[in-house]
Copies of this chain bind each other. A is one copy, B any other.
């Protein structure tokens, strides 16, 4: 089936997806479907939940005050594994952090991990807003899952809890670093990217990073990139060389 024949509306749901099964929608989804898209019961939708692939379905009945639900009819795509890539980033101001979450989702990050560093200007992260952005971007970009937006941690805690067997590519403007493309081309297995704040990492942070055997300092070329640009660029390069960059979008002729 081509994209022209498929419903444009894609919804992320929590419930298991199986033929004939109703999947509850959130109040926000119901409101958007009814109030903005003006859809009614029976309208075709596509559904995904991060576990059961993608399903063709339709909206069930929903009254004025009800939370809606959708009913799955037919599986369009089986579940598929996505690259195991974490994006760790120092929180930046509102527009830029929204950009990181939106484009990080489009570029297939599995985990979005805010990490506070010494020179991070931003003090708070609105996780609810970021999680809503991640869902919206996943619905738009044909992903089968939504990246996990984790609670912020300090850099020390991030490093102390870093899992065995996962490399951490630290995008560094200063100091010794190999080109990201070179490291990505050799890599296999789980990875994380770490993007510092606009002010860069503090010398003590760089020293701490370098003490960990899982850390690989990498460079993104000769220009100084804004933090959101660096996050997008690093994800794109990684996916194209070590991730799923050879894949093609589904449902396109």
Contact = CB atoms under 8 A, between A and B. Distances in A.
Interface string A205-232: 0000000000000011111111001001
A229 B102 CA distance: 9
A133 to B, nearest CB: 12
Contacts of A236: 220, 232-234, 236-237
Q: Which secondary structure characterizes the binding site on chain A? A: loop
B248 A222 contact: yes
B239 A221 contact: yes
Contacts of A181: 240-241, 245
Top 10 nearest A-B pairs (CB, nearest first) are A222-B247, A233-B236, A174-B252, A181-B240, A141-B223, A236-B236, A221-B245, A237-B240, A103-B229, A179-B246
B140 A224 contact: yes
A223 to B, nearest CB: 4
A250 interface: yes
A1 B219 CA distance: 20
A8 to B, nearest CB: 11
B223 A249 contact: yes
A173 interface: yes
A248 B247 CA distance: 30
Contacts of A143: 223
A10 to B, nearest CB: 10
